[in-house]
Amino acid sequence: MAGRLILEDARRAPDGIDVQMSFDDLGTNLRDVTFVVVDLETTGGRPGAEEITEIGAVKSVGGTIVGEFATLVNPNQPIPPYITVLTGITTAMVMAAPRISRVLPAFFEFVGNSPDTVLVAHNARFDIGHLKAAAAALDLPFPRVMSLDTVQLARRTISKDETPNYKLGTLSRVIGTEVTPTHRALDDAKATEELLQFILGRLGPLGVSHLEDLKTITDAVPYRRRKKAHLADGLPRTPGVYRFIGPSGEVLYVGTSVNVYKRVRQYFTAAEKRTRIGEMVDLSVRVDATSTATKLEAQVLELRDIQTFDPPYNRRSKRPDKRPWLILTKEPHPRLSIVRSVAADDLPNALGPFTTWKSAKKAKDLLERVTQVRTCTPRLPLLPPPSARACSLLEMGRCSAPCVTGEPQEALDRAGRVLSGLVDDAVSHTMANLRLMAEREEFERAADERDRLAALVTTAGRKEQLTLLSTNAELRAARPVDHGWEIIVVRWGRLVGSAVAPTIADVLSTANTLAASSPAVDQPVLACGAAPIEEMEILYDWICSSGTRLLTSPPEPFAVSRRSPQRFSIDVER
């Protein structure tokens, strides 16, 4: 099985052959949906097992009735006179009728459980509410089908200029149904089915042609947005990345999904409630997509697209500066310094990357106090002059004062251990301080100190994870999924390809083929320089997830050390 590379065209099969998208890729056409229109007559009481007196339903596909269901139901109680006047159903008529415990299973069988079935009623809250209450009382599972209310649909499609109200009898006269509602279940169900077909005819010009559209048609969505739903037509129903394109060809927004088509369709319905994203959808003129072999590949491609296109409607659209690192300067008496990048060879002696410069500054402040590395900025000579005098930090125990002692090695060793990822001493020292501050009830100072420790420990853990990826020339890994085995190839921390093998027997051959067809990646000059940090974090989580197996043997074990900083957890209030 040939693997697919990250930037493969959205409409290519795994073997590279162009394929035509089928109509099935667009969703369930309304012509293929099974509508079960139901109407109930009841005793007029609250929903329950002994209230239904009659059930009538019609089943239609493509506007043609293909089945009917009608029966009286014995409610095991007298029918009130006013109900008899309204419906014509008397207590005597239902005496010989079956009880609801026999009728309801038969009706649910008539409805079925197909995902392409829709249960319809006029004022569905009443009819479906009674059915659900009866099912609950009898401990019967309710059919897992979509429900629809023709009252709500009518309000969306028939104006108040056309009808004085939205009662079934009134709407039946307005649109001229062949069956007149009579307050008997089957007649009313047939009239409702005709009303439904009339409404569907009006919804067609609004872009409602598939079941996915119908699910949200009763929600308040601007017409200009809903009619853009056709922009999703032809998009893949596979994992991938989608891009909303503006009028000048600019990328407005980048997203990812395990089913690109279904996700993009949601942007044109009430499922999308973000005002700013709604504005983006209104500006868009088309949607492009790239199909990927795996969800992981889609997530990585999304990150790269955001970095490349800088889309204005993505939260991560602001291009961040390079992540900061913490190092010891290269001078006779080093000090801690925050830098924008670190050479790959210096990775073992640097701490990072930090998420922000602010977090790097917090870790630097803590580390200076814990290690007593000097904080002054002048360049000091290797040997202090006889006239040198130390500042007050020496007396406070905050500095090793190489300006007068000339022997800062102990402080540098302490700093070097922390920068390399051994944070135990820093954690012990800071926790002792936190306990002391808590005893003194200096809670604000303690919170600041906790934040500094969290910045240090979290970044040390991140460095350990990224080092495992960024220092390996190639990693191949596989993970079981429902439809086979996902396989990835990572070089110097950069995803270069992914594929799916149908069985475990195909894993190694698929991995070899994928590796052979994946692009080469040069060994980076900078630490973690082959890919964005976010990409390597996603890859690390994937590789370390349950069930994942490494298919290669890296020079160094892909495992965290027993003294890993990741064993510390520092809770920070959000």
- φ, ψ for residue 292, nearest 5 deg: -125, 160
Higher pLDDT, 180 or 217: 180
Whole-angstrom distance, CA of residue 400 vs CA of residue 514: 55
And the tokens for 40?
A: 């109930």
pTM of the model: 0.62
Residue 455 within any structural domain of the chain: yes
Residue 227's pLDDT is 79
The reply to whether 193 and 232 lie within a common domain is: no
Residue 20 within any structural domain of the chain: no
Q: What mean pLDDT is reported for the chain?
A: 86
The reply to whether 287 and 364 lie within a common domain is: no
The reply to whether 125 and 200 lie within a common domain is: yes
Whole-angstrom distance, CA of residue 303 vs CA of residue 272: 22
Whole-angstrom distance, CA of residue 503 vs CA of residue 505: 5
The reply to whether 530 and 445 lie within a common domain is: no
Q: What is the pLDDT of residues 102-160, one digit of tens each?
A: 999 999 999 998 888 999 999 999 999 999 999 999 999 999 998 999 998 998 889 88
Residue 540 within any structural domain of the chain: yes
- φ, ψ for residue 212, nearest 5 deg: -60, -30
Residue 490 pLDDT exceeds 90:
yes
Residue located via tokens 């220092």 = 471
Alpha carbon of residue 514 to chain centroid: 27
Whole-angstrom distance, CA of residue 179 vs CA of residue 197: 13
Strand 475-481 with 549-550, pairing: antiparallel
Domain boundary among 181, 209, 237: 209
HSE at residue 263, side-chain half, CA atoms within 13 A, is 19
The CA distances from residue 295 to 6, 16, 189, 480, 536, in Å, are 11, 20, 45, 13, 15
Whole-angstrom distance, CA of residue 306 vs CA of residue 309: 5
Q: Is 354 exposed, middle or buried (0-12, 13-18, 19+ CB in 10 A)?
A: buried
The reply to whether 52 and 135 lie within a common domain is: yes
CATH at 313: 3.40.1440.10
Q: Is 370 helix (H, G, I), strand (E, B) or coil?
A: helix
And the tokens for 507?
A: 């894993």
The reply to whether 225 and 362 lie within a common domain is: no
Residue 2 within any structural domain of the chain: no
Q: What is the pLDDT of residues 264-320, one digit of tens each?
A: 998 987 667 788 888 899 899 999 999 999 999 999 999 999 989 999 999 864 555
- Report whether 45 contacts 8 (CB < 8 A): no
- Cis status, amide bond into 353, omega within 30 of 0: yes
The reply to whether 258 and 175 lie within a common domain is: no
Whole-angstrom distance, CA of residue 153 vs CA of residue 200: 9
CATH at 131: 3.30.420.10
Domain boundary among 463, 484, 503: 463
Domain count, the chain: 4
The reply to whether 225 and 251 lie within a common domain is: yes
Amino acid, res. 348: P
Range of the domain at 122: 30-209
The reply to whether 151 and 80 lie within a common domain is: yes
Work out the percent of the chain whose per-residue pLDDT is above 90: 63
> Rounded mean pLDDT of 221-240?
85
Q: What is the pLDDT of residues 334-372, one digit of tens each?
A: 889 999 999 999 999 999 999 999 999 999 999 988 887
Residues 6+ apart with CB under 8 A from 396: none
Lowest mean pLDDT across 87-96, 157-166, 559-568: 559-568
Alpha helices in 353-442 (DSSP H): 357-371, 392-395, 402-405, 409-420, 424-439
